[in-house]
Amino acid sequence: MEYIGIVFGIFGLLAYVELSSLKKRVVTLEEELARIAGTSSFEERRALLDAVDAYIGKQVILDLKEDFEDVDIVMYGNSKHGTNTILDADGDWLLVRIDSAKGSKEKLIRAGAIQRISLVNEK
């Protein structure tokens, strides 16, 4: 009888893990549908991408949405230990160079993951 309880416990844990990722997938799908439909979410994204074009080649502070946070950007690029520089951008991606005491890295960041961009001296 104990084995039946363990089996049901494992199935319950697997169901919980699967359902916990469901909310994140639904939110991502809603954002994508809003972008396609041209709602206010699309307008905000367009304004952000227009601002990114002006920031190419400049040092910026990137605030990422909670689900998309990147360790290198949070720990090195947005602090006194390093900087972020936008190298290139298109409709969906940003190429960012992260300079820190450990060295320099280039990363691709999805435009939908960015919540806010500001220049370093605007802080």
96-117 pLDDT, tens per residue? 898 888 888 898 888 878 878 8
Please calculate the CA angle 57-62-64 and round it to the nearest 5 degrees.
Answer: 140
Question: For residue 16, is it within any domain?
Answer: no
CATH code of the domain in which 70 resides: 2.30.30.100
Question: For residue 33, is it within any domain?
Answer: no
Tens-digit pLDDT profile for residues 46-103: 677 777 888 889 888 888 877 777 777 777 666 677 788 889 888 778 898 988 888 8
How large is the average pLDDT for residues 34-56? 68
Question: For residue 85, is it within any domain?
Answer: yes
Q: Decide: 94 and 111 in contact? Cβ < 8 Å.
A: yes
Task: Kindly give, in sequence order, each residue whose CB lies less than 8 Å from that of residue 28, ignoring residues fewer than 6 positions away.
Answer: none
Tally of domains in the chain? 1
Q: What is the pTM of this model?
A: 0.58
Question: For residue 51, is it within any domain?
Answer: yes
Give the structural domain span for 57.
Answer: 38-122
pLDDT score of 25 more than 50: yes
How large is the average pLDDT for residues 6-25? 86
Question: For residue 24, is it within any domain?
Answer: no
